[in-house]
Amino acid sequence: MSEIENLLREDLRGQRPYGAPQLDVPVQLNTNENAYAIPDDVAEVVERFLAREVRGLNRYPDRDAAALREDLAAYLRHGLTARNVWAANGSNEILQQLLQAFGGPGRTVLGFMPSYSMHPLLARGTGTAFVDAGREADYTLSPGHVREAVAEHDPDLVFLVSPNNPTGTALGTDVIDAACEAARGIVVVDEAYAEFARDPAATALSRLEGRRRLVVTRTMSKAFAFAGARVGYLAADPELVEKLLLVRLPYHLSSLTQAAARGALACASRLQAEVDALKHQRDRIVKHLRAAGLPVADSDANFVLVGGLADAPAVWRAVLDQGVLIRDVGLPGRLRVTAGTEEETAALLSAFETVMEQSPELFGEQR
């Protein structure tokens, strides 16, 4: 053990940082990014918002991001105001702040894996114990399962994800209600992919009224094609939002970030066209791969979990050899693919077709 390793926190020794493979290939469908670049007309609006801030960069930003929170509340609707909303550098920072405020040493967060892989990492980084209550064999999550897990572990926080990553499946509001009724602590519903849901009305935002311990987190990385801007936010009871100010860093959200986000929000309806296009390509992937004999669940996200693989790592490599990068999420017999543009989706489906023809034994589990 090196001198530096020896000085590191004991629970971090031997750990590796989070990261997905970043390879220079023609088609990259592995990190659930929005495949469409920001349209020129939207970019012009964002640039105008940014230009207003440039000459004032000698001053600190609005540390409470008041204007941005007003715009986010208007976008979310559901009777929310700026006092219900908080924003940070990506939804990961939002989740981290929730753990800093309500988790920490001696406290527990309950999750249901497989789900977003950053949840246990964020828990570890804040000294919060992460308990995995698992899922059913088909990766679904029922109200009864949630109630039993909460009763057994008595967590300080509960993490739910809808639509779930990597399965792409959305939770029924009965699951969210079960968690809120059973838990004594904070219930967080991570809705990073909410705008891609087949039923956009099926959101935990509809369950916020009267639930002071319920939190709904969102991101602008996906639907707004804003992954590079790093903007995440949450909706919750105003008192809960106020408590997060105890752990936020001063001036944590730059003036430029706030301005860019406000510009993108002003164009939300325009960006919906790209969301609709990605949903179409997602459904195209599901239909095509099912027709090829592979079990694929309906997805409410901008990605699809493909099953029926006898050797998922080998399929991943073979598809990569065709110039298409997808994601091995570590689930036996399954790979995750992000919905791309029409051309990228065609390349993906062609790659799968080629691999299935050339190496049928890799799909022998289901064929």
Residues 219 and 358 in one domain: no
> Tell me, what CATH number does 293's domain have?
3.90.1150.10
Select from 245, 266, 287 the last residue of a domain: 266
Distance CA 356, CA 364 (A): 10
| Structural domain range at position 219 | 40-266
Query: Considering its fold, how many domains does the chain have in total?
Result: 2
pLDDT > 80? residue 94:
yes
130: tokens are 């992460």
Distance CA 281, CA 171 (A): 22
Q: For the residues of 49-72, what is the DSSP string, one character each?
A: HHHHHHTTTTS---TT-HHHHHHH
129, 157 in Cβ contact below 8 A?
no
Residues 245 and 178 in one domain: yes
Residues 242 and 345 in one domain: no
Residue type at position 234: L
Whole-number pLDDT of residue 320: 97
165: tokens are 């990553």
**pLDDT, tens only, 169-223:** 999 999 999 999 999 999 999 999 999 999 988 899 999 999 999 999 999 999 9
pTM for this prediction: 0.94
Distance CA 127, CA 107 (A): 8
**pLDDT, tens only, 291-312:** 999 999 899 999 999 999 999 9
**pLDDT, tens only, 111-151:** 999 999 999 999 999 999 999 999 998 899 999 999 999 99
Question: What one-character DSSP code corresponds to residue 107?
Answer: -
Residues 72 and 211 in one domain: yes
- For strand 157-161 and strand 186-190, is the pairing parallel, antiparallel, or unpaired? parallel
Residues 72 and 166 in one domain: yes
Residues 236 and 339 in one domain: no
Q: Is 35 within a domain?
A: no
246, 95 in Cβ contact below 8 A?
no
Whole-number pLDDT of residue 13: 86
Q: Is 223 within a domain?
A: yes
Q: Is 145 within a domain?
A: yes
Q: Is 326 within a domain?
A: yes
Residues 108 and 228 in one domain: yes
Cis bond before residue 114 (omega within 30° of 0): yes
User: 364 falls in which pLDDT band (50, 70, 90)?
Assistant: low
Q: Is 243 within a domain?
A: yes
**pLDDT, tens only, 216-249:** 999 999 999 999 999 999 999 999 999 999 999 9
Whole-number pLDDT of residue 17: 83
> Tell me, what CATH number does 131's domain have?
3.40.640.10
300: tokens are 């409410």
Residues 192 and 231 in one domain: yes
Residues 242 and 157 in one domain: yes
Residues 281 and 218 in one domain: no
161, 300 in Cβ contact below 8 A?
no
User: 14 falls in which pLDDT band (50, 70, 90)?
Assistant: confident
pLDDT > 80? residue 155:
yes
287, 74 in Cβ contact below 8 A?
no
Select from 234, 266, 298 the last residue of a domain: 266
User: 357 falls in which pLDDT band (50, 70, 90)?
Assistant: very high
Residues 161 and 287 in one domain: no
Whole-number pLDDT of residue 367: 42
Going by C-beta distance under 8 Å and a sequence separation of 6 or more, which residues neighbour residue 222? 32, 33, 34, 192, 193, 195, 196, 302
Distance CA 71, CA 49 (A): 13
Q: In terms of C-beta density within 10 A (0-12 exposed, 13-18 middle, 19 or more buried), how is residue 345 classed?
A: buried
Residues 59 and 7 in one domain: no
Select from 229, 249, 266 the last residue of a domain: 266
pLDDT > 80? residue 20:
no
Distance CA 319, CA 313 (A): 10
